[in-house]
Structure 1
Amino acid sequence: MTTTTDTTDTTLRSNPTARTHEVTNQAPPLVGHDVADDAVLLEGLRREGAGWYADDLHRIGRLAGSEQVQRWAEEANRHEPELRTHDRYGNRIDEVEFHPSYHALMEVAIGEGLGGAPWADDRPGAHVARAAGFMVWSSAEQGHGCPVSMTYAAVPALRSAPELAAVYEPLLTSRTYDPGLRAPAGKRGLLAGMGMTEKQGGTDVRANTTVATEQQDGTWRLRGHKWFTSAPMNDLFLVLAQTPGGTSRAEGHEGGLSCFLVPRVLPDGSRNTFRIQRLKDKLGNRSNASSEPEFDDTVAWLVGPQGHGVRTIIDMVTMTRLDCVLGSASGIRAALAQAAHHVRHRSVFGTKLIDQPLMRNVIADLGLESEAATTLALRIAGAADRAQRGDAQERAFLRMATAVGKYWVCKRQPAAVAEALECLGGNGYDEASGMPRLYREAPLNGLWEGSGNVNALDVLRALTREPESLAAFGAEIEAAAGGDARIDEAWRRLRGELVLTEDAPLRARRLVERMALVLQGSLLVRHAPAAVADAFCASRLAGDQGLAFGTLPPTADLASVIARVPGAAG
């Protein structure tokens, strides 16, 4: 058997002019590594109560860093999902076909318990373990994380209807990936999605026009549309629709925006009406199908009381916002790892890039951003875990910290990924590097589950209506009191801004940004090496930094910060 190398050598011997140059000074591919070999991640895992998961995390990390999985990621994005509205005979089927590599990614994600499995796991730290696994695995490919995340988030919302949860929760928490449209009860595992927004309202879901009509048998029929429903091949969807005014026979509540469970296939095996008008042609997230479904006499079951749709799905929103933070922290870390790997191998003017002072500043600054994002993401995951176990203080902290983290970490991802891409120069603009895909993914989490403005205003809402969440947030920051004078001063100034005035909506972004930075600083002062905390406080809180990455002050201990960056130290 003749190899490619043999053929190339033969060609060069017979035609020496075919060789124009030797390929040198190029970084090798970043493959065959353990994505979980990350001190920041592992320290956070132990600190938040899931140290027992470390061996599994390393196993997932080695798989995520393998050449095979990188090939799956590339293929799942290059061969995008395809909509099949009708079969060969003209029957409406509304199915989406995915490349086998997408299914391979999904099988690992569900099999490793990154979907609904933590809800069936009584071990303390189960949700933290899942969060860390989600971060490591999604670093390989983020698009397929959408159905995984929605399945995870659907469980607490579905518990508002105990009779439905009894049927579907065991399958939503399954570790078996069982794709294809079949009767849910006959499958070994289920995936869930959500259908909230409509074309005339977007985030303003109370403007939804989809209507629900109650039937004699206790089910409902939906008529209307949804504007952005991802993963339409999932088995079950939580959907918002308007119920009519008056009193419901079943619930005794007034009508209004309500939550419903919509299966793609009904219990008798017949297809529910779920007409997919088209798939979205998106900037990124190409491996994941996002659709516009139409409902027409679509069978649904009420979840929670009538008129309480937003309240019913609030836990789902919290969990999906948490995953936005996790995904953005993961995306920042993945881009940084690629940049660090490149600069460690690439030389300019006879010196490795990692040894060039200005590049060291850039990598260190990106490392600070990544460490702060990862530490905050895992702290929120720890709060989610403890809140599920009845800790009221952690639930109050989770309410505020999720909105703050969702705003800030998702905002920082595009800027950080762009800077990391630039570290590779023109190579970073080439699809073969993988950086363009990370860059296209970067804005998504800032949009999903509410844009920056929505989350900033949600923080104001919490400040006004839920004072216990501010108290818990303040207690978290004050745990670092005396650890760094810059934190103490920043918190003193921030407390004055938290007294809301009439112009609060105008300055909401500025306020939430300061809240995020003070919270991250508090966490780093308590948990990170002194050099990392010092550089963060100097640059992010004391203002000794320019507007771009790579502007850390000369006093920063760059070597100690870079030592925490995966792959930068060799």
Structure 2
Amino acid sequence: MAATTHTVTNQPPPLVGYDVFSADRALTEAVERHLPPDLREEAVKELSSLGTTAGSAQAQSWGALANEFPPRLRTHDRYGNRVDEVEFHPAWHRLLGHAVTSGLTAAWGRPGGHVRRAAGFLVWSQTEAGHGCPVSMTHAAVPALRTDPELAAEWEPRLTSKVYEGEQLMPPGQKAGALFGMGMTEKQGGSDVRANTTAAKPLDGAGEYLLTGHKWFCSAPMSDGFLVLAQAPGGLTCFLVPRVLDDGTRNVFRIQRLKDKLGNRSNASAEVEFDGTWARRVGEEGRGVRTIIEMVAATRLDCVLGSAALMRQAVAQAVHHTAYRSAFGGPLIDKPLMRNVLADLALESEAATVLGMRLAAAYDAVESGRPAAGGGSAESERALLRLAVPAAKYWVTKRCTPTVAEALECLGGNGYVEESGMPRLLRESPLNSIWEGSGNVQALDVLRALQREPGALDAFLREVGQARGADHRLDAAIKGLLTELADLDGAEARARRLVERMALVLQGSLLVRWAPPEVADAFCASRLGGDWGSAFGTLPHTLDLRAIVDRARP
């Protein structure tokens, strides 16, 4: 009886054994579009290899294990000595090690490096999102360190190395590769970093200080170094805090506890205390925010890419499940209402991917000094990033949670069960909207750019203007946005609405220029034309929804 009643039928096979990169048409097309011809073949080969590993059963098991067995804090050794170490499951090291050896911290100074790295980050993050935190911070620390040529010469080769040394606490000079973290927020201030109280006392050595204070959130505390903000005599300043000093002694870096988080369970986020902690100044005294802002911008782009990865994996799982699951007389994917839901989800995922990759191409243009594909000069691309990064960070990360939640529902009760992997995606989905500044912080940053940097708005309008005349709904949305931008008095109360419209117009412009007609048509009809309900699955039924779903199928 048991054998008979437990015969399994009508269950989809696991989504494993596939190339995550090659199966994502929006991403593969973006790589082809934004890389020059002489780099494409090598990049596609590398990304396909990474995608094949990401889609393997082994890599997916690493992701599950790293979250099932989260990091543990060990404050003291058996003899009572303070050690402040965090122990990770071996799966964490396999994920993080593969990310490093695949070049996900090695974009700077590499031709097409930011596009290649962004695509790889989007692919590999689909295995597990938590380890992306040290990957992102290590990548993003480079532009901040470049404000001090001496520090950059010392640390940049380690940060951009493809050698993973594990998380052993060793003098940095003895490691071929290093990881970086950062500590900005404190208990009393949060995003208001100018309220920080951590004090920096100058030493006799040029640029050397001792720090006393705390950090309320410090992710990846086993990293080799950290960029932190503290109050020096000249004001809020950026500092480099190494975990181990050159003579092999451990710097004072007391881990008080690890955060018990909603998601991101594989990654250690810590509360740390400084008490006479040695640090090197990065940049000028009193200019800490300006020094670290490039790091913040780079990690904000990774929030966009990380959210795009979560959305893509959730949509891939939903489309895969409904293609194999039958109900009410046939496959779910063929049911008109389910097809509408899947197409709507696919639009959200593709728009996020196209926007994230366009911004990565702008980074390549800024670093190389050459125009981006479909973009402007390096100076114009830098100005575009100033507005587009916080706008994209605001909107894409906001769309992540409802997208993942709706995709989970496509699996029904199966999606609510941990073994499906969907609950982990859902728990992870709110993080990027909070990390590196919540929604209000992003919206206010956009307002600052609009009010203080007119060149940023000019670059944004040139970008979206490249698609004018191609779709009447996009044209109307651009016109409406210009009306809103004409009067910024009292704009703070409506900042979220303004930034949402900017992000949607930018996404619409990119899709009209580069996506298949059925995708662009559906996006403009729903997101810009107003023919859309308050939930997914309310696209106009006259659209070519089957083509959109087929394009999204892994």
Give the TM-score normalised by structure 1.
0.94
Contact 1:85 1:276 in 2 (8 A): yes
Contact 2:109 2:367 in 1 (8 A): no
Give the superposition deviation at 1:561: 1.1
- Which residue matches 1:302? 281
- Which residue matches 2:372? none
Rounded to whole Å, the distance in 2 between the matches of 1:461 and 1:472 is 15
Give the superposition deviation at 1:350: 1.7
Q: Which secondary structure state, in structure 2, belongs to the residue aligned with residue 564 of structure 1?
A: helix
- Which residue matches 1:162? 149
Give the superposition deviation at 1:496: 0.8
Deviation per CA, 1:236-260: give whole Å up to 9, x if none: 000000012xxxxxxxxxx000000
Specify which of 449, 452, 477 is matched with residue 465 of structure 1.
Answer: 452
Deviation per CA, 1:371-420: give whole Å up to 9, x if none: 11100010011111111223101000111110110000000000000000
- Which residue matches 1:60? 50
Specify which of 97, 106, 118 is matched with residue 107 of structure 1.
Answer: 97
Deviation per CA, 1:19-41: give whole Å up to 9, x if none: 42321011111111110121110
Deviation per CA, 1:82-114: give whole Å up to 9, x if none: 000000000000000000000000110000010
Rounded to whole Å, the distance in 2 between the matches of 1:56 and 1:553 is 39
Contact 2:314 2:407 in 1 (8 A): yes
Rounded to whole Å, the distance in 2 between the matches of 1:120 and 1:525 is 32
- Which residue matches 1:12? none
Contact 2:84 2:254 in 1 (8 A): yes
Instruction: Give the partner amino acid of 1:42.
Output: T
Deviation per CA, 1:293-324: give whole Å up to 9, x if none: 10000000000000000000111011000000
Quick check: 1:373 aligned with 2:352?
yes
- Which residue matches 1:41? 27
Quick check: 1:77 aligned with 2:74?
no
Q: Which secondary structure state, in structure 2, belongs to the residue aligned with residue 226 of structure 1?
A: strand
Instruction: Give the partner amino acid of 1:236.
Output: G
Q: Which secondary structure state, in structure 2, belongs to the residue aligned with residue 228 of structure 1?
A: strand
- Which residue matches 1:94? 84
- Which residue matches 2:17? 32
Q: Which secondary structure state, in structure 2, belongs to the residue aligned with residue 563 of structure 1?
A: helix
- Which residue matches 1:483? 470
Question: What are structure 2's unaligned runs of at least 5 residues?
Answer: 370-377
Quick check: 1:267 aligned with 2:246?
yes
Computing the radius of gyration over CA atoms, which structure comes out larger, 1 or 2? 1
Rounded to whole Å, the distance in 2 between the matches of 1:564 and 1:194 is 39
Specify which of 542, 546, 549 is matched with residue 559 of structure 1.
Answer: 546
- Which residue matches 1:226? 215
Contact 1:394 1:472 in 2 (8 A): yes
Specify which of 332, 347, 357 is matched with residue 311 of structure 2.
Answer: 332
Contact 1:120 1:173 in 2 (8 A): no
Rounded to whole Å, the distance in 1 between the matches of 2:419 and 2:488 is 51
Rounded to whole Å, the distance in 2 between the matches of 1:527 and 1:234 is 40
Give the superposition deviation at 1:165: 1.1
Deviation per CA, 1:38-74: give whole Å up to 9, x if none: 1110110111126341111110000000000011000
- Which residue matches 1:419? 406
Give the superposition deviation at 1:17: 4.8
Give the superposition deviation at 1:188: 1.3
Rounded to whole Å, the distance in 1 between the matches of 2:449 and 2:76 is 47
Rounded to whole Å, the distance in 2 between the matches of 1:164 and 1:350 is 66
Give the TM-score normalised by structure 2.
0.96
Instruction: Give the partner amino acid of 1:46.
Output: E
Deviation per CA, 1:440-480: give whole Å up to 9, x if none: 00000000000001001110000000110100000001100
- Which residue matches 1:235? 224
Rounded to whole Å, the distance in 1 between the matches of 2:199 and 2:428 is 34
Comparing 385-394 and 427-436, the one that deviates more:
385-394
Contact 1:358 1:550 in 2 (8 A): yes
- Which residue matches 1:247? none
Contact 1:229 1:291 in 2 (8 A): yes
Quick check: 1:315 aligned with 2:294?
yes
Quick check: 1:203 aligned with 2:191?
yes
Give the superposition deviation at 1:126: 1.1
Quick check: 1:51 aligned with 2:40?
yes
Instruction: Give the partner amino acid of 1:377.
Output: G
Give the superposition deviation at 1:118: 1.4
Instruction: Give the partner amino acid of 2:475.
Output: D
Rounded to whole Å, the distance in 2 between the matches of 1:153 and 1:535 is 35
* Structure 2 counterparts to residues 384-463 of structure 1, below 5 A: 384-390=363-369, 391-463=378-450
Rounded to whole Å, the distance in 1 between the matches of 2:2 and 2:499 is 62
Q: Which secondary structure state, in structure 1, belongs to the residue aligned with residue 93 of structure 2?
A: helix
Rounded to whole Å, the distance in 2 between the matches of 1:556 and 1:470 is 33
Q: How many residues align?
A: 539
Instruction: Give the partner amino acid of 1:304.
Output: G
Rounded to whole Å, the distance in 1 between the matches of 2:265 and 2:82 is 25
Contact 1:33 1:62 in 2 (8 A): yes
- Which residue matches 1:118? 107
Contact 2:387 2:460 in 1 (8 A): yes
Instruction: Give the partner amino acid of 2:362.
Output: A
Deviation per CA, 1:277-308: give whole Å up to 9, x if none: 00000000000000001000000000000000
Comparing 19-28 and 182-191, the one that deviates more:
19-28
Instruction: Give the partner amino acid of 1:333.
Output: R
| Residue identity (%) | 63
Q: Which secondary structure state, in structure 1, belongs to the residue aligned with residue 235 of structure 2?
A: strand
Deviation per CA, 1:120-158: give whole Å up to 9, x if none: 42x1x2110000000000011000000000000001101
Question: What are structure 1's unaligned runs of at least 5 residues?
Answer: 1-15, 245-254
Instruction: Give the partner amino acid of 2:49.
Output: R
Q: Which secondary structure state, in structure 2, belongs to the residue aligned with residue 507 of structure 1?
A: helix
- Which residue matches 1:153? 140
Contact 1:113 1:130 in 2 (8 A): yes
* Structure 2 counterparts to residues 3-18 of structure 1, below 5 A: 16-17=1-2
Question: What is the aligned-residue RMSD (CA, Å)?
Answer: 0.9
Specify which of 477, 480, 489 is matched with residue 502 of structure 1.
Answer: 489
* Structure 2 counterparts to residues 181-192 of structure 1, below 5 A: 181-192=169-180
Give the superposition deviation at 1:18: 5.0
Contact 2:310 2:425 in 1 (8 A): yes
* Structure 2 counterparts to residues 282-297 of structure 1, below 5 A: 282-297=261-276
Contact 2:200 2:210 in 1 (8 A): yes
Instruction: Give the partner amino acid of 2:265.
Output: R
Instruction: Give the partner amino acid of 1:413.
Output: C
